[in-house]
Amino acid sequence: MEPLNALISLSNFMLIPALAYGSQLALGALGITLIFSILRFAHFAHGDTMALGTAAVIGGTLFLQAQGVSIDPLPTALLAIPIGIVVMVLYLLAADRLVYKYFRKVKAKPLTFVMASLGVMFVTNGITRLFMGVGETRFEDGQRFLFTVREFRDFTGMAEGMALRSAQAITIITALIVMVVLFWFLNRTRAGKSMRAYSDNEDLALLSGINPERVVVITWTITAILLVLAGTLYGLDKGFRPFNYFQLLLPMFAAAILGGLGSPIGAIVGAYVVAFAELGITYAWRRVFSYLMPEGLEPTSMMQLLPVDYKFAVTFAILVIVLLFRPTGIFKGKVI
């Protein structure tokens, strides 16, 4: 039973958290990749917009809770997600009207768009903090665990335990559904096809009668949905702190670049690679190896390659390796 115990321990502390974190990153990286391939700039406001979306969801949750609405055992926040999505669609479209549209009209350089997104980032950041402050907000309610360590141990009789938090399970399932729907949308619907055509060749798309402004509106709408979902799931899993969302920018970009900027499937694969690498390298493997190694050879150290504080370094190392050896990413990027 020793290898099985090792596997359980590994799942509990690494595989499940990494899967959940990877799903959250994937939803974020998909948004980045979509904006990059349609609007053609690196969207630096992504992390902070995610924070604002989550703040809207938290607001909705508080309102629903005050009304006594509850969908126990599921968290109320799930019910508030549509509220957040509506708010963020309006917010992003307003930002597009007020800021980006002008630069599209004058055909500004890509870096001007990036600058503009820095401005939007500041504003969004300020708004989020005006409402939420900088502290941590927890908004997870309902049943916290699908099963706890103790229940698992009692049920299976194993030495090691494993817990599955409902936030993690919800994250993984939601991400799967969203990805399937997104690919169906991009590949099967008229709007999705027009998006891909526009991303592939702007002029040709114009000639075929595709309205670019419509494509842009659809892109922001999808981005808003992805943002709110990613932000809410991350917040349910790890609590809401505006600064953490800003810091997600690096892993999300790393995921998108690793997979190939502009490639949705790449963004997803990249996100899971980043998540597993971050957790795997900062994970203390001692417990796992103490089950796997023969008697007397158990490890004495923590068997942790890097302290947890360096998880950015892991992301960064991945990024550097990609930039050095395969700048186009795993799936050759650019076209969706």
Partner 1 sequence: MSLTARDLGLFAIMGAVLAMVAMFQSPQLAVTILNMSLISAIMALGVNMQWGYAGLFNVGIMGFTAVGGLAVVLIAQPPVPEAWAAGGLGVLLGLMLGVATILAAVIVYKKMTPGKLRGLAIFGVLLVGYLVTAKIFGPAKQAVQAVNPASEGYLGGAGLPVIMAWPVGAVFAAGIAWVIGKISLGLRSDYLAIATLGISEIVIAVLKHERWLARGVNNVTGIDRPVPRPVDLQPVPWVQSLADTLGWSLSQTASVISGLGYSALFLIVLAMLIWLAERALNSPWGRMMRAIRDNEVSARAMGKDVTRRHLMIFVLGSGVCGLAGAMMVSMDGQLTPGSYEPLRFTFLVWVMVIVGGSGNNWGSVLGAFVIWFLWVQVEPAGRWFMDLATSGMAADSDLRQHLLGSAAYMRLLTMGVALLLMLRFAPRGLIPER
Query: Least CB distance from residue 153 to partner 1, whole Å?
Result: 34
Distance CA 108, CA 183 (A): 31
Say which residues have a Cβ less than 8 Å from residue 130's Cβ, sequence separation at least 6: none
Cα separation of 80 and 252, whole Å? 24
Range 245-281 burial, b when 16+ CB lie within 10 A, else e:
bbebbbbbbbbbbbbbbbbbbbbbbbbbbbbbbbbeb
CA distances from 335 to 196, 208, 271 (A): 7, 18, 18
**Least distance to partner 1 from the beta carbon of 159, Å?**
29
Return d(Cα 254, Cα 168) in angstroms, integer: 22
Nearest to 74 by CA among 189, 173, 185, 221: 173
For 240, the 3-state DSSP assignment is strand
When the beta carbons of 253 and 272 are compared against partner 1, the nearer one is 253
- Report the nearest approach of partner 1 to the CB of residue 108 (Å): 8
* Residue 165 φ then ψ, to 5°: -80, 145
188 φ, ψ to 5°? -110, -30
Measure the CA–CA gap between 17 and 11, rounded to whole angstroms. 8
CB of 77 to partner 1, least distance (A): 21
**Which CB sits closer to partner 1, 155 or 312?**
312
What are 108's two structure tokens? 């500004």
Give the nearest distance from C-beta 126 to partner 1 in angstroms: 3
Q: How far is the CB of 308 from partner 1 (least distance, A)?
A: 9
Tell me the C-alpha to C-alpha distance, in Å, between residue 244 and each of 79, 89, 116: 24, 22, 22
Name the minimum Å distance from CB 123 to partner 1.
4
Nearest to residue 23, comparing CAs of 192, 237, 218?
Answer: 237
Would you say 69 or 98 has its CB closer to partner 1? 98
> Measured at the alpha carbon of residue 86, what is the angle toward residues 23 and 17, in degrees to the nearest 5?
15
Considering beta carbons, is residue 104 or 153 the nearer one to partner 1? 104
For partner 1, give the closer residue by CB, 1 or 302. Answer: 302
List the structure tokens of 215. Answer: 């494509």
**Residue 301 beta carbon to partner 1: minimum distance, rounded to whole angstroms:** 8
Interface residues toward partner 1, by CB under 8 A: 41-42, 44, 98-99, 102-103, 110-112, 114-116, 118-127, 129-131, 133, 246-247, 249-250, 253-254, 257, 305, 307, 309-310, 312-313, 315-316, 319-320, 323-324, 327
* Total Cβ atoms within 10 A of residue 73: 12
Between 71 and 118, name the residue whose CB sits nearer to partner 1: 118
Q: By C-beta, is 79 or 317 nearer to partner 1?
A: 317
**Identity of the residue, 164 or 261, whose beta carbon is nearer to partner 1 in the bound complex:** 261
Rounded least distance, CB 261 to partner 1, Å: 8
Residue 12 or 219: the one with the smaller Cβ distance to partner 1 is: 219
